Structure formats: structure tokens, C-alpha cells
Amino acid sequence: MRELSLHILDIVENSIEAGATRVEILVNEDSRANRLTIVVEDNGRGMDAETLKRVGDPFFTTRKTRHVGLGIPLFKAAAQRCAGDLIVSSEPGKGTKVVAEFQRDHIDRAPLGDIKSTLLGLILSCEQCDIRYEQRLDGRAFVLDTRELRDILGQVPLSHPQVRDWLEEYIEEGLAELRQAPSATQEQNSSDF
Ligand SMILES: Nc1ncnc2c1ncn2[C@@H]1O[C@H](COP(=O)(O)OP(=O)(O)OP(=O)(O)O)[C@@H](O)[C@H]1O
Ligand SMILES: [Mg+2]
């Protein structure tokens, strides 16, 4: 079972390869609806209708180094195993959107995995690309947007060791806080139903 963070990495790498300068990632967990949804949206070169039709086919790839492209088919298979699906929509010259949905408590649903390392790797590997990451759990959210960080940092690059350390801590703490149980008042409210 492959961690979902590795699938996210694959999908965002497609975006970067497609020349995206902005990638928006949303991981939304809704325990009441028992769904986990992952959305990756980019402003890369997009795909024409013919490419889009073939994108779920493992033997389709535009890469030149080998003859199979597995990023999307593997992620789609993982979603379909968990009473979900993966849908790709795209417009040439505008961008691409990948939406994967899972039954959250499905026995085959892989854990989210190491989101922190995935994000850090992506952010540091693509200095000319902005990444917005949002993770939601029952309405509460953690957000990281490198565009906002760049505005604050000015000339200091995201790869600066001190910035990197800060980023690591920020992601770690933000995600830990999100995983913590909601406050007593929120619990009180939700038990009224
Ligand atoms: N975000 C995107 N923007 C533009 N084209 C895309 C995007 N994602 C996928 N594609 C197209 O779909 C093809 C298949 O993608 P997929 O991730 O399944 O395989 P791959 O990237 O070719 O190979 P692999 O992921 O195994 O390294 C890509 O070769 C590319 O042509
Ligand atoms: Mg790929």
C-alpha cells in the first residue's frame, strides 16, 4: 500500500513537468461524510482532448525515457479500490486539475504518510514554482502558501537553511495541531445533533 503523500508527489511532479508556476494542493478529510478528497490544480500547459482521454491508460506517456506512465493510473487504482475514483480535467494553455476521492475509513485506504517531507522536497526542488498546500479536517484547516512566504522573505530564498528549518517546524506543528481533537466547545456543539 503506497502512502497517499507519494501519489501527491507524483501528481505535482507532472504539474512541474508541464511548466506550472503555481500548484494548489487540497487534502480534505470529512469524517461525517467518511470521505477523503485530494485535489491538485496547476496552471501548466494542460492537455488536449486526445491526451486527456488516454491519461488513465498505463501505456500512455509523453515522456521519452520510458514507455509507461504510471503516476495517474496508480493513483486512480488506489482511489477505485477504496470506493472512490480519480477524475482529471484539463484545458490546453490553462492548466490541469486532478481530483481523487476515497472512502476515508476503507480498509485499503493508505495513510496520508509523510506530507512534511513531500512538501519540503517539492518546495525546495522548484524555486520558480509556487505551491499552496491546504489540509482540512472537518472544517479546520492548515495552509501553507510559498507565494506569501516569498513576499515576506524578499531576496532570501526558500532554500536558506534557517527558512528551511522554520518551514519544517511550521508544517510539523500545523499538521499536529490539525490532528488534535477539536476543542470541548466544538465537541459539545456537534453532539447536539
Ligand atoms: N498536470 C499535467 N499537465 C499536463 N500534462 C499532464 C499532467 N499530468 C499528466 N500529464 C500527461 O499525462 C501523461 C501521463 O502522466 P502519468 O503521471 O500517468 O505518467 P508519466 O508522468 O508520463 O510517467 P510517470 O508518472 O510514471 O513518471 C504525462 O506523460 C503527460 O503527458
Ligand atoms: Mg507522472
pLDDT of residue 55: 87
User: Best substitution site from 2, 14, 51 to test ligand 1's pocket, by max atoms within 8 Å of Cβ?
Assistant: 14
pLDDT of residue 66: 65
- The verdict on residue 36 lying in a domain is yes
Number of H-type helices and E-type strands within the chain = 7, 6
Atom of ligand 1 nearest to the CA of 42: 1
Q: Whose CA is nearest to atom 1 of ligand 1?
A: 15
**Residue-wise pLDDT tens digits, 48-79:** 998 998 887 777 777 777 666 789 999 999 99
- The verdict on residue 104 lying in a domain is yes
CA of 72 to the centre of ligand 1 (A): 7
pLDDT of residue 130: 97
Q: Whose CA is nearest to atom 4 of ligand 1?
A: 46
pLDDT of residue 186: 52
- The verdict on residue 193 lying in a domain is no
Residues of the chain whose pLDDT is less than 50? 184, 192-193
| DSSP structural state of residue 160 | S
User: Which structural domain, as residue segments, surrounds residue 94?
Assistant: 4-185
- The verdict on residue 9 lying in a domain is yes
pLDDT of residue 172: 97
- How many domains are there within the chain? 1
Ligand 1 touching residue 95 (CB < 6 A)? no
The domain that holds 22 is classified in CATH as: 3.30.565.10
Give the three cell numbers for residue 168: 519544517
- The verdict on residue 191 lying in a domain is no
pLDDT of residue 183: 57
pLDDT of residue 54: 86
User: Best substitution site from 42, 53, 60, 61 to test ligand 1's pocket, by max atoms within 8 Å of Cβ?
Assistant: 61
